[in-house]
Structure 1
Amino acid sequence: MSPRKYDAPRRQEQAAATRAAIIDAAEELFVERGYGATTMAAIASKARVAPKSVYGLGDKAQLLTLALDRAIVGDDEPIPLADRPPLQGVLGASDGRGQARLGATFAAPMLLRLYPLYRAFEQAAGMDPDLAGRWREYQERRRQDVRRVVEAVEAVAPLRAGLDTDRATDSLWALIGWHPVALLVEERGWDEEDLRRWIEDVFVALLLGDAPT
C-alpha cells in the first residue's frame, strides 16, 4: 500500500479558511462587545476552532490589527492601500473633480467596513498603552495616504486660496474619519451612496473651492 500523498494545497486552503474564520469572529466580537469585553475564548468559540488556533494567529491586539488591515483594503492580500488600483486611480486622475469622484467611490465602502472597528480600536487605545501606540501609527499611516491625495490634487489643480499642503492634509484627515461616518450612518441612516456623495462634496469644497479644475 503506497503512502497517502501530502495534499499541500488542501492544507493551505484549510489554514486560510481557519484564519479567515478567526478574524471574522474577532471582528464581529470587537464591534459587538468592544475590545475589553472580548476574550480569546469567545473568539475561539465563535470561530468554532480550538483556542490554540486563535493564539497561533496572534494575541488579542494582533487580531484587532489583522481585522483592521483587512477592513481597510477589503481582503487579506499583502498589498498596501497606496499600491492598490483604487487609490492609484485617484492619484493618477487628470483633474481635481475626477480625483474627488474616484476618491469618494473607493472611500465610501471602505469607511463603512472600517468605522465600527476603528471605534473599538480607539476605545481600547484609551485603556492600553501598547494599543495607544498602535492607534497613533494607524492614524499617521492614514494621514500619509491623505497627503498623497492632496499632493496629487496640487499636481493638477491649485488648492483653494489660503490652503497649503499641510493644512489641507490635516483638514481632510480629520473630517473624513470614523466619527462623522458613525454619526451619519447610525443617527441619520445614510447608506453608501449618501456617504459617497458627501465625501465628494467635502473633497471639492475643502480642497478646490472655486478653483478651476
Structure 2
Amino acid sequence: MTASKRSREYHAPRRVAQAAATRAAIETAAGRLFARHGYAATTVAAIAEEAGVTPKSVYAVADKPGLLLLALERAEPGGGDLVDLLLRLYPLLRAFEEAAAAEPAVREQWRGHERRRRAELKRLVRDRAEAGQLRPGLPVGRATDMLWALLTWHTVALLVDERGWSRAKVRERLEQLIGTVLTGG
C-alpha cells in the first residue's frame, strides 16, 4: 500500500462531544427517575423518553443496573460531609438498596458502599476521639456502629418525606444526634 492509500485516522470532535452529551443526558435522566420512582418502577423505556433518546441508545450506555451505578457516580461528587451526602442523595440511595435486593450485579456494589460509609464514620469517630470529644468508656467501634446504623438514607427519608422536616432541620438534628452518641450530651 502506498503512502497516499493509507487510511486517515478518524477525528470528529463534534461527534465525540455529542456522544458525551447524550451519555450525560441518559445518566442524568436515569438518576432523576430512579430517585423519583425507585429502581423497580423505572424502566429503560422511561429513561430513554426522559433523556430524549431511543432505548437502543440507553442500552449502548449500560443496562438498567449499570445505569443506576452510573447515576450514583454522577451524583456523588459535590463535596460536603456525610450529612450533606445523605440529604442530597437519599432518594437515589433508596433505589440503590432496592436494586441490591433484586440484582446480584448491584448487591456487591451496595455492600462496598456500606463498607465505605462505615469507614468514613470510623474516621469521624477517631478524629473526635483523638480530640478528646468521645464519651469516656465508649469504644470507637461501638460509636462507629451506632452512627452507621442511625445515619442512613432511611432516617433522612422518614424525616423529610414522611414528617415534612426541612433539610436544614434534618441537618441540625443529625448533627445533634452525632454529638449525643459521641459525647453523651
TM range (shorter): 0.7 to 0.9
* Normalised TM-score (structure 2): 0.83
1:90 match: none
- Which of these two proteins has the greater Rg computed from alpha carbons? 2
Note if 1:118 corresponds to 2:118.
no
Give, as a single letter, the amino acid of the residue that structure 2 aligns with 1:66: L
Note if 1:40 corresponds to 2:44.
yes
1:64 match: 68
CA separation of 1:12 and 1:197: change in aligned 2, threshold 3 A: farther
1:150 match: 125
2:169 match: 194
2:179 match: 204
Structure 1 unaligned residues grouped into runs of 5+: 1-5, 75-83, 87-105
Alignment of 1:30-109 (within 5 A): 30-74=34-78, 86=80, 106-109=81-84
Once the two structures are aligned, what percentage of the paired residues are identical? 51
2:113 match: 138
Q: Is the 8 A contact 1:109 1:192 kept in 2?
A: no
What SS does the aligned partner of 1:49 have?
coil
Deviation at 1:209, TM superposition (A): 2.6
2:22 match: 18
**Comparing 11-20 with 148-157, which one deviates more in the overlay?**
11-20
Higher-RCO chain (CA-CA 8 Å, sequence separation at least 6): 1
Q: Is the 8 A contact 1:71 1:110 kept in 2?
A: no
Measure, in 1, the Cα distance between the counterparts of 2:133 and 2:82: 23
Deviation at 1:68, TM superposition (A): 1.7
1:92 match: none
Give, as a single letter, the amino acid of the residue that structure 2 aligns with 1:162: G
Aligned residues: CA RMSD: 2.2
Measure, in 2, the Cα distance between the counterparts of 1:7 and 1:130: 35
What SS does the aligned partner of 2:97 have?
helix
Deviations 1:149-171 (A, max 9, x none): 11221221241122111111111
Measure, in 1, the Cα distance between the counterparts of 2:15 and 2:85: 31
